[in-house]
Amino acid sequence: MMTIGELANLAGTTVRSVRYYHSNGLLEEPQRQPNGYRMYRAVDLARLSRIRRLRDLGIPVAKIAELLDGDAHDTRSALDALDKELAAKAEQIAVQRAHIESLRRNADPELPDAFSEVLAQYVVAGAPTAWIDNERELLILALTVSGGDPEVCDSLLSAHRRALAKPNRKQAIELITRMYALTDAPADADTIAALAIQFCDFTERVLPEQAAPERPSPTRLVAVLREHQADRRTPTQERFAKAVAAEFAARQSRP
């Protein structure tokens, strides 16, 4: 006969595990001896050893209860089922790891490759970090709200690629840098007006679709992007945005 500590030690497990197996009915508790201790017999050790072995094989506790009183065929069937389950999990893990590896190769894991490459080009060209972070959020919003609509994706990529094309890149980065410098300190009205004119000139030449009159009832996507932009602007940038809107409106009203 043996104490619970001796039993656990011989079976290669812990007293806590033995008590756990008692609590869920896998291992019967022996009656206490006159001295108050529970003493275990060889049959208890044999059963505990089987329990530990089945647990080591990955058999769920709920299934072990059935196998302990079954035959070897039942155990083999349980192992076959477990093997199929693990194979399915391994396949799922392999797919996930391949996806993670793809994201690691992507310059910006939060975006599809094409958009990530565009942002990477802005980084190389020297665009301000704050602008790149803001543009990333805008792209994520656009992809989310549109559900990845191919037409929306093509439109966004086309606009960025035109801005980054060699004839336009230098001016685009300069305008972005100057616009984002408006976050650091207030600017006088003349500075804002001059920058607004240059911005509108660039937009009409390179991104004419963005210079079109604003629709009175914008699409959900446009409304969300405008809201995001408004939330991110400093007071000086807000003045700049109003100056741009006024300049576009004046140009559109000309004969």
**Are 173 and 145 within 8 A, CB to CB?**
no
Q: How far apart are CA 47 and CA 199, in angstroms?
A: 81
Facing residues of 38 across strands?
32
Q: Name the residue with tokens 């086309």.
A: 158
pTM: 0.58
Q: Is 192 exposed, middle or buried (0-12, 13-18, 19+ CB in 10 A)?
A: buried
Helix, strand or coil for residue 217?
Answer: coil
Angle of helix 72-105 versus helix 61-68 axis, rounded to 10: 160
User: Which CATH fold would you assign to the domain 1-69?
Assistant: Multidrug-efflux Transporter Regulator; Chain: A; Domain 2 (1.10.1660)
8-state DSSP, 255: -
Domain ranges of the chain: 1-69, 71-105, 109-253
Is 157 a residue whose pLDDT tops 70?
yes
8-state DSSP, 57: T
Q: How far apart are CA 174 and CA 180, in angstroms?
A: 10
Task: Give the pLDDT confidence score for residue 71 in this predicted structure.
Answer: 62
* pLDDT tens profile 62-81: 788 777 776 655 767 777 87
Is 103 a residue whose pLDDT tops 80?
no
Question: Mean pLDDT throughout 76-98?
Answer: 80
Q: How far apart are CA 163 and CA 152, in angstroms?
A: 17
SS3 readout for 109-146: CCCCHHHHHHHHHHHHHCCCHHHHHHHHHHHHHHHHHH
Q: How far apart are CA 148 and CA 145, in angstroms?
A: 8
Question: Mean pLDDT throughout 158-165?
Answer: 96
Q: How far apart are CA 65 and CA 233, in angstroms?
A: 64
Q: How far apart are CA 105 and CA 102, in angstroms?
A: 5
* pLDDT tens profile 171-225: 999 999 999 888 766 788 999 999 999 999 999 999 998 877 776 678 899 999 9
Q: Which amino acid is at 55?
A: R
Which secondary-structure segment (H or E) carries 60? Answer: none
Rg for the chain (alpha carbons), in Å?
Answer: 34
